[in-house]
Amino acid sequence: MLDGTIAPMSRNYGAVRWLPALILMAAIFTFSSMPASRLPFFGDLDFLFKKSGHAIGYAMLGLAYYYALPPRLHAGYRWGVALLMAVLFALSDEYHQSFVAGRTSTLRDVGIDSVSAAVALTIGAFYSSNSSSNSTS
């Protein structure tokens, strides 16, 4: 504004906050759609690399959900909803993966995904609540 005041945020800003989550969901879906024959093999470290990928992906997804949810909501509520969304996406993704050639669907992966999201959300919420920032976004 020309008078020195700040214009209120548009309603579309909330939709922009969902972009990281949408991009991560698309990336996870794309990777889980790949047949086993197209996946790289890392030898003795294969299990570690692939499960680390799960952990990192779902940690980021949990944080992206937390960021996307309206900041006016209580942090604990946002934490719980973000975790629930990550767990539900993990379950749906494992189900989807059961239809991909050479891939398997395991609850162990859902567990890895869920714990990773919970740890990242806990660290993120702790950091956010102890931030010296006065931002309300």
Predicted confidence at residue 3, as pLDDT, reads 54
Those residues whose C-beta lies under 8 Å from the C-beta of residue 21, and which sit 6 or more positions away, are 61, 64, 65, 67, 68
Residue 71 tokens read as 């900041």
Residue 68 tokens read as 């996307």
Mean pLDDT of 35-61: 95
Residue 1 pLDDT level (bands cut at 50, 70, 90): very low
Tens of pLDDT, residue by residue over 108-137, are 999 999 999 999 999 998 887 655 555 555
Tens of pLDDT, residue by residue over 73-99, are 998 999 999 999 999 999 999 999 999
Mean pLDDT of 50-56: 95
User: Are 67 and 24 spatial neighbours (Cβ–Cβ below 8 Å)?
Assistant: no
Distance CA 97, CA 79 (A): 27
